[in-house]
Structure 1
Amino acid sequence: MTSFLNKKILGHVLFWAVLLIYFMSVSWPYETNKIFLFESVFFKLILQIILAYAIIKIGIPYLLNANRKLVFFSSCLVLIYILFISYSIYKAYILIPSYPDEFSYRPPFILADRFTNWPAYIGSIPEYLFPTVILVIFNYYKKQKETAILLEKKRTSELNALKNQLNPHFLFNTLNNLYVLALKKSDKTPEVIAKLSEILDYILYQCKDKYVLLKNEVALLHNYVDLEEVRYGNRVKVSFNKDITNDAKIAPLLLLTFLENAFKHGVSQEINSARIDIYIQGDVQNIEFRIVNTKPAISEKNHNDNREAIGFKNIKKQLELLYPDSYILDVNNERDLYSVNLKITSNAL
């Protein structure tokens, strides 16, 4: 905390030092007495510092942000007038007596006239406000940057929370499948364990990045299909068509939830034969994922069920966070078919 404050103070000191050098450089070729130049510029800089921090620390937070705009602008004008008169008094009682030669060729300076010299006062406003405007702009962009960082951290936290909800949900379903096979003492149990091991390796070690290769996500889906086919056997027929490039990327675990739901709602309650059709097309510019599954007759009783399971809600939240305004998700819940069509546009990839 102390280090941060020191850096902040040092930054402000450096800012005003640069301004002092700048203001002196403007008149440097025209003033022979450099000490006089420094004193006049330095005193005006002190007045500018007073104005800047009065506006930034008091005026903006307590007046402008409180929607008291008239009071804010009136206060600024009054304060600038006070500073304008202060510099006039400093000039009359300090600068002119100390450096009479520097004013010998200048027009006579009458202090009383300065109190009502409105053109000179109005003309001095931009000069006094110049450093304040720079600081306000700098603070604005700094706060915008800090806000962006906080929003990114918030979004990352939300995504991690959603993933933590999704992964146990997937693992619970897979382990349940393995449990059923173990009870049956199936010869396919080692195959399922191997597939589950591949899936766990992918989830634990390869899904840490914000985006992963689409081909790896497709491999995950293939492993999941293999596990479910072991469980359901001839009760399900899965067609898997893909057309993807090696460099296509997508957020990890996005597509798995749709596949889980297809098996859960389209196969688990089907007593006859179910069908799932999967199509994935993807390149560096666009990704399209489509999955269609048949619905068992028992689902007719729940035809209006929108299937907003936990996993499905999570996937919609992730899409909003990862691809805002850059995706299209169409869900069709028909009498005997359920389909999902996801398109991610090029500006999000």
Structure 2
Amino acid sequence: MIPSYPEEFSYRPPFILRDRFTNFSAYIGSIPGYLFPTVILVIFDYYKKQQETAVLLEQKKTTELNALKNQLNPHFLFNTLNNLYALSLKKSDKTSEVIAKLSEILDYILYQCKDTFVPLKNEVILLHNYIDLEEVRYGDRVKVRFTKKISEDAKIAPLLLLTFLENAYKHGVVEELHIAKIDIFVTGNSKEIEFKIENSKPTFTKNDNRTEREPIGLNNTINQLNLLYPGAYQLDVTNTKELYRVHLKVKTNGV
């Protein structure tokens, strides 16, 4: 009895290692003896160049990442020192508190962000410290809601989320004459991280002639994402008259 098969049918014979070695040996055997050393040198040179190219690409990637971090850090420091200066002019009792908090933040940025990826929980602590600093400056003018659900093995590129929080204060709080709102949501595990931040935008401001500006550091953040998570992230930005929202999803795959 002849067996029947579906109309589309493909068959792949089992891999026979012996046959592969036989064919390769036959190929090597077909090379004239006087050319054999040359062929070996060509193959060796090819793999050596491949390795050198991989090393150069990795060095280029590291250099670009360090350059991006160096652009972020001075901006953050500049804003914080401005806050500290304003408090010192008022001879505020909170000046020493701000100095201590700033010292803690700088310690993290300068000494704990050297790795390509850091625990997500450390980045969340950084966000909380930043919020504490801004709370000293703005007091009850800002309502912040922070929701998080993080596993111990979740990791992310350092300082990636801080830029979005800076933008929320810069464009949603500084010029607000009434109550500003910031909502933050972070969840993460070893495979995926999701981050949402939404800030209200001022309806009445001190400067009615202001022009809409590109959020600070956004291009740097996108460059970091492209370098560290190529094809593995989704960044959605919503910008209306009432609010500014950022929604970031990153596939970490256990980095």
Query: TM tier, shorter chain?
Result: 0.7 to 0.9
SS of corresponding position for 2:182: strand
For 2:209 and 2:235, how far apart are their aligned partners in 1? 25
Q: Is residue 307 from structure 1 mapped to residue 214 from structure 2 by the alignment?
A: yes
Q: RMSD between aligned alpha carbons?
A: 2.2
Q: Does 1:164 align with 2:70?
A: yes
1:286 aligned residue (186, 192, 197) = 192
TM-score, reference length from structure 1: 0.61
1:193-246 CA-to-partner distances (Å, cap 9, x unmatched) read: 111011011111111111111111100000000111111111110001100012
Answer yes or no: is the 8 Å Cα contact 1:327–1:343 preserved in 2: yes
In structure 1, the residue matched to 2:47 is 141
Letter in 1 for 2:121: K
Deviation at 1:138, TM superposition (A): 2.0
Residue of structure 1 in register with 2:19 after alignment: none
Q: Distance in 1 between matches of 2:223 and 2:151?
A: 27
- 5 Å matches for 1:56-135? 127-135=33-41
Letter in 1 for 2:67: A
Aligned amino acid, residue 134 of structure 2: E
> Could you say what secondary structure the match of 1:268 adopts?
coil
**Structure having greater relative contact order (Cα 8 Å, sep ≥ 6):** 2
* TM-score, reference length from structure 2: 0.82
Please give the residue correspondences for 1:187-336 in structure 2 after superposition, counting only pairs within 5 Å.
Answer: 187-297=93-203, 305=212, 307-309=214-216, 311-336=217-242
Report the CA distance shift for 1:270/1:143 in structure 2 as closer, same or farther (over 3 A): same
Mapped to 2, the partners of 1:157 and 1:230 lie a distance apart of 36
User: Percent identity among equivalent residues?
Assistant: 69
Query: Amino acid of the residue matched to residue 182 of structure 1?
Result: S
- In 1, Cα distance between equivalents of 2:241 and 2:129: 29
Rounded Cα–Cα distance in structure 2 between residues aligned with 1:298 and 1:345: 39
Gaps of 5+ in 1: 1-122
Tell me the SS of whatever aligns to 2:178.
coil
> Please, which runs of 5 or more residues in structure 2 have no aligned partner?
1-28
Q: Is the 8 A contact 1:326 1:348 kept in 2?
A: no
SS in 2 for 1:347: coil
Larger of the two Rg values belongs to structure: 1
Query: How far off its partner does 1:306 sit?
Result: 6.3
Q: For 1:328, what is the secondary structure of its paired residue?
A: strand
CA distance in 2, matches of 1:230, 1:134: 69
Residue type of the alignment partner of 1:307:
E
Look up the equivalent residue of 1:167 and give its one-letter code. Answer: N
Structure 2 CA distance for partners of 1:268 and 1:144, relative to 1, 3 Å: same
CA change 1:348–1:314 in 2 (3 A) is farther
Paired positions, count = 226
What residue identity is the alignment partner of 2:40? I
Is 2:177–2:204's contact at 8 Å kept on the other side of the alignment?
no
Cα distance change of structure 1 residues 302 and 126 upon mapping to structure 2, 3 Å threshold: farther
Cα deviation for residue 157 of structure 1 reads: 0.8
Larger helix share, 1 or 2: 1
Indicate how the Cα distance of structure 1 residues 166 and 322 shifts in structure 2: closer, same or farther if over 3 A, else same: same
Task: Check conservation: 1:326, 1:347, Cα contact below 8 A.
Answer: no
| 1:186/1:302 CA distance change after superposition, 3 Å | closer
Aligned position for 1:25:
none
Q: For residue 347 of structure 1, report the CA deviation from its aligned partner.
A: 3.4
Alpha-carbon distance in structure 2 between the residues aligned to 1:126 and 1:340? 64
Kindly provide the amino acid, as one letter, of the partner of residue 214 in structure 2. R
In the alignment, what sits opposite 1:175?
A: 81
**Bigger share in strand:** 2
